[in-house]
A = this chain, B = another copy of it.
Amino acid sequence: MATAEEVKEQINVQTAAIAALKKANAPKDQIQAEVKKLLDLKAQYKTFATNNNGNQKANANTGSKKNFTLKTPKGTKDYNDKEMAVREKIFNTIKTVFKRHGAVTIDTPVFELKEILMGKYGEDSKLIYDLQDQGGELCSLRYDLTVPFARFVAMNGSKYQNIKRYNIAKVYRRDQPSVARGRMREFVQCDFDIAGVYEPMVPDAEIVRIMKETLTALEIGDFTIKINHRKILDGMFEFCGVPKEKFRTISSAVDKLDKAPWEEVRKEMVELKGLPAEVADKIGTFVVCKGGREMCDFLEEKLGSNATAMEGINDMKLLMTYLEAFDVLDKISFDLSLARGLDYYTGVIYEAVSIAPPESGKKKKSDDEGNVGSVSGGGRYDNLVGMFSGNRTVPCVGFSIGVERIFSILLRKMKLEEVKANEVQVYVCSVGKGLLTEKMKICKELWDNDIKAEFMYKADPKLDKQFQVCEREKIPYAIIIGNEEIEKQVVKIKDQTNKESVVIPLERKKK
């Protein structure tokens, strides 16, 4: 960072440069550009002059007080080494499952042209972070990974009409943050999507299988995958007498049933959204229904006369057959109260709910206790790519895992202090003086052989101080050298678990 003096010097240099340009009759706009730079420098200098706690002093290390807030922006946080060890384990577990199903990964920028995101998130568009217009394109931080994926598929023409891809990356929402509930403005999503024209319900079934496999591998405890179908919802609304233009708004009311009781949702439908009471009551008889495969027959009996509903029911019959082959039925709940907020879903929708047991030794207070809610969700969105590519549509189906929820569930089960953040296997210790470079040489040998090793950055440390590090960092082996070992060209290796030692000859590889 520049000090005030340096900026002053830069101002002098820049003044001289402008004078030289003028003398040489340089083009006007070139001179103007240089004058602009000079003015910027002068403005910069001014901040030093008006601020006694400026960088000049801090740089000179005079111990002046900081003159700004030392924090991360609202709704964001740092993850320390132990937290990151847990998070990386989550990411790796998820990647392993995703790759098992043949997925590749693609990477898209953190920000997109603003117009790409516009009109995709309905009312939530106000939560999009915009970049400042600094003389260029108008850009916004991505709100999810689905729209950038659809933009990528649309942009690459026929090349990526078929793709199974995953993406683990940060997304941004200017929401009211709630750190306690793991709700952040910057957070990580893990998405898996399948694009392409395929046999009906086959990729959909694999997506649900991957949900089961991932959540099982993450060891978050018991969970249920709720499933429903947009066409069954629409058919049911039609059957009950909801006017077509109210399908989405009534659907978003139904979506609240996982948090609110039916009475409240009914009130919203009737009083706020103007639905006749008898229509709402009819909906009420449906949304309480949930079950397994047998729901298909039940619904066919009830809604068989409705063409839209029947399309959905037939899809679900096929899906259930495939889910049986994939051994997922035990986790499934065909749940008519599942609606999912996002408007772009067109077919099967699903949502996984974690059912954490009550904390040990405590009685469960209510059915809802320990229910941290949705940990994963998704569905089929056949028209999103078409919004970008005009007449060429690419059907897609996918799901997303909310890492922050998974992270908070896992943190409840472990003691963060006990997490080993580094992976060091061997700590190279010395007894006696003047052995620093000897320890370095041994570390070099270890590193050359891909063994994770460290030593104390101190010339002549005491042995107990070195053992304390082994203890604290949970390093399984210590190598100890002293003058005797060096003379005999041996090292002592101590197993930190059972405290046993062996002495082995030190054979250095000749290169």
Contacts and interface: CB of A to CB of B under 8 A. Distances in A.
Contacts of A386: 58, 61
B423 A99 contact: yes
A17 to B, nearest CB: 6
A386 B53 CA distance: 12
A80 interface: yes
A88 B105 contact: yes
A136 B447 contact: no
Given A54-B119, A109-B73, A199-B459, A246 B9 contact: yes
A202 B439 CA distance: 11
A487 to B, nearest CB: 18
A391 interface: yes
Interface of A: 1-2, 5-6, 8-10, 12-13, 16-17, 20, 37, 40-41, 44, 47, 54-55, 58-59, 61, 63-66, 68-74, 76-81, 84-85, 87-88, 96, 99-113, 115-116, 119-123, 125-126, 129-134, 136-137, 139, 141, 151-152, 154-156, 160, 163-165, 170, 172, 174, 186, 196, 198-199, 202-203, 205, 209, 213, 245-246, 248-249, 271-274, 321-322, 324-327, 343-344, 383, 386-391, 393, 421-424, 436-437, 440-441, 443-444, 447, 450-454, 457-459, 511
A115 to B, nearest CB: 4
B113 A84 contact: no
A170 B136 CA distance: 20
Nearest to A14: B272
The 7 A-B residue pairs whose C-beta atoms are closest, nearest first, are A63-B391, A81-B104, A198-B457, A76-B109, A325-B440, A2-B122, A130-B132
Nearest to A53: B390
Contacts of A170: 110
18 contacts: A2-B343, A9-B245, A16-B272, A47-B119, A55-B387, A73-B139, A77-B109, A84-B104, A84-B107, A87-B107, A101-B454, A104-B422, A111-B186, A199-B436, A199-B459, A321-B437, A322-B437, A327-B511
B422 A390 contact: no
Taking each of A73, A152, A196, A324, which has the highest tally of chain B beta carbons within 10 Å of its own beta carbon?
A: A73
A113 B13 contact: no
A383 B321 CA distance: 65
Contact of A105 (B81, B105, B273): B81
Contacts of A203: 457
Given A1-B120, A66-B390, A130-B131, 11 more contacts: A1-B119, A2-B119, A2-B343, A16-B274, A61-B393, A66-B389, A76-B109, A84-B104, A88-B105, A100-B447, A129-B131
Contacts of A246: 9
A103 B421 CA distance: 9
A203 B440 CA distance: 11
Nearest to A5: B245
B447 A213 contact: yes
Nearest to A202: B457
Contact of A2 (B248, B443, B447): B248
Contacts of A65: 390-391
A8 B69 CA distance: 44
Contacts of A105: 81, 84, 88
Contacts of A132: 129-133
Contact of A155 (B71, B85, B130): B71
A284 B46 CA distance: 35
Contacts of A100: 447, 450-453
A437 B99 contact: no
Contact of A84 (B101, B106, B444): B106
Contacts of A123: 2, 10, 37, 40-41
B69 A13 contact: no
Nearest to A246: B9
A121 B1 contact: yes
B102 A78 contact: no
B209 A458 contact: no
Nearest to A449: B100
Contacts of A41: 123
B388 A66 contact: yes
A163 to B, nearest CB: 7
Contacts of A160: 80
A337 to B, nearest CB: 21
B452 A73 contact: no
